[in-house]
Chain A
Amino acid sequence: MTPEVLVEISDLNFSYNSRPILKGINMTMKRGQVIAIMGGSGSGKTTLLRLIGGEVVPSSGYVKVSGQVVHELERDALFEIRRKMGMLFQFGALFTDLSVFDNVAFQMREHTDLPESMIRDLVLMKLHAVGLRGAHHLMPAELSGGMARRVALARSIALDPMLIMYDEPFTGLDPISLGVIGSLIRRMTDTLGMTSVIVTHDVQESLKIVDYVYFIADGVIAAHGTPAEVRDSVTPFVHQFVHGEVDGPVPFHYPAQSYRRDLNLEKALV
């Protein structure tokens, strides 16, 4: 594992209730990169993030973060490495009983002995970076979906992590918020020199900001490449996914018996 590689995934398999979710996944994620993991719903993308974060244990293979095999770490070591990771959940997962300010300050108060005056300055700086310094006094219920995700982004960079994982960061956002979140992800990654891993369905927005894309289908990596390679790909699955075609390798119809038979037409014709 070279120093510039932050995350290495090798021959990773994961099964849930003996149902295989991920099969033989291999990936490398370098420092300073924004990587997108794309695929249909239920293809195992979020599971992959949970494996990187050590929330679940693989059936075989491993995920190495900063040279450490995540699932082999003891609880304290796992928590130590998680302090260097950030995670942006699909709908922000802000603590609803805490204000915007306290949400961003949460990790600083839990993991550091910084004086309250310094925490205040740091929180305001983080909120300023996402454009919400003026909203520090609001409660999560008073925020729009896009604002909540920006606050969650500020919270996830609170301790300047080396890796941030984003679970569907663009879902349900209006075009302006979508563009804002996309550019923030790129800017934060470049400014802080961290690695960003985005699990997303939003092809057009993510292709604008990422360095590399992995497509997952049926638990395996169906294709991978740079955004330019992905756009020009003739692989049927990638083509269908990138262009949002209704039918293709991912069929429109759920498997069923013959339509004619379901409508009792075969008997009538005989």
Chain B
Amino acid sequence: MFKHLAASIRGIGHRTIEGIWQLGHATRFFLLVLLKSGTSFRRFGLVIRELYYVGVLSLIIIVVSGLFVGMVLGLQGYETLQKYGSESAVGTLVALSLVRELGPVVAALLFASRAGSAITAEIGLMKATEQLAAMGMMAVDPVARVVAPRFWAGVISMPFLAAIFSVMGVFGGYLVTVTFIGVDAGSFWSQMQSNVDFRIDILNGFIKSCFFGVAVTAIAVFEGYDSPPTAEGVSGATTRTVVTSSLAILGLDFILTAFMFRGL
């Protein structure tokens, strides 16, 4: 009994120390990526190429999801607001929910699943098939040539994807409430315009999406670069990217929301 207890405590301690080491390792890697980002900016074509794979190819899932989330918000919002005779405020509800929270958060979660996992798998497979080692032997730094362009492509894409998600969501809400249900279009837009503040709502949402972009892409490139060079290692790293990114997004969202909207 005592032996089992001691073993469990030892296990917890071991895992904690391991976790702290890993966190330190990841932080050092993140700083290394920043330090070696010069190539990405000198040869911006490398980032543009990755922007296509990371950003443009994520558009479909972002546009479709944004549309449906907006439609659901419109429906749910209308159902609740009409009980109080405030159905004209549905535009405000849809817009604020999307711009402040759902746009950045859901877009980042989708981005982590679509682009984050792809980045991890690609870098992990490049490592497993010795492409990164080959690059190093050719006197080309793989962190500067492979990792940094993908990192910056992710960081640049994320705010745009979140903005597109929110725009599509508002359009979805408009489609359901104004076109199908018959809410007045004028009050839908005017209420939204008067209640959505550029600095407090839109800018803060934009800042959130920037943070999420950095977090998701940093996790994705680290997991890929750090993955064991085996099929099992790469698949495990891809799963960890999605899980860790999702938790990081939700945790960061709470912290950022607490800073941005406290007392408003």
Listed in ascending order, the chain A residues whose CB lies under 8 Å from chain B are 53, 55, 79-80, 82-83, 85-87, 89-91, 93-96, 106-107, 110-111
**Which of B130, B131, B139 is close to A90, meaning CB atoms less than 8 Å apart?**
B130
Q: Which residue of A lies closest to B146 (CB)?
A: A95
Q: Which residues of A contact B140 (CB under 8 A)?
A: 106-107, 110-111
Q: B74 to nearest A CB, angstroms?
A: 41
Listed in ascending order, the chain B residues whose CB lies under 8 Å from chain A are 125-126, 129-131, 133-141, 145
Decide: A93 and B134 in contact? CB cutoff 8 A.
yes
**Which of B129, B135, B136 is close to A91, meaning CB atoms less than 8 Å apart?**
B129
**Which of A83, A86, A91, A106 is close to B130, meaning CB atoms less than 8 Å apart?**
A91
**Which of A85, A91, A96 is close to B137, meaning CB atoms less than 8 Å apart?**
A85
Q: A198 to nearest B CB, angstroms?
A: 16
Decide: A55 and B130 in contact? CB cutoff 8 A.
no
- Most central of B130, B135, B139, B141 by chain A CB within 10 Å: B139
Decide: A80 and B130 in contact? CB cutoff 8 A.
no
Q: Which residues of B contact A83 (CB under 8 A)?
A: 138-139
Decide: B138 and A82 in contact? CB cutoff 8 A.
yes
What CA separation (Å) do A87 and B129 show in the bound complex? Answer: 14
Tally the A-B contacts, defined by beta carbons under 8 Å: 48
Could you list some 19 contacts between A and B, CB below 8 A? A53-B137, A55-B133, A55-B137, A79-B139, A80-B139, A82-B136, A82-B139, A83-B139, A85-B137, A87-B138, A89-B134, A93-B131, A93-B134, A94-B131, A95-B126, A96-B125, A96-B129, A106-B140, A111-B140
Decide: B130 and A89 in contact? CB cutoff 8 A.
yes
What CA separation (Å) do A85 and B137 show in the bound complex? Answer: 8
What CA separation (Å) do A82 and B135 show in the bound complex? Answer: 11
- Most central of B126, B131, B137, B141 by chain A CB within 10 Å: B137
Q: Which residues of B contact A96 (CB under 8 A)?
A: 125-126, 129, 131
Decide: B139 and A111 in contact? CB cutoff 8 A.
yes
Q: Which residues of A contact B138 (CB under 8 A)?
A: 82-83, 87, 106-107, 110
Decide: A55 and B129 in contact? CB cutoff 8 A.
no
What CA separation (Å) do A94 and B133 show in the bound complex? Answer: 11
Q: Which residue of A lies closest to B53 (CB)?
A: A97
What CA separation (Å) do A230 and B156 show in the bound complex? Answer: 60
- Most central of B126, B134, B140 by chain A CB within 10 Å: B134
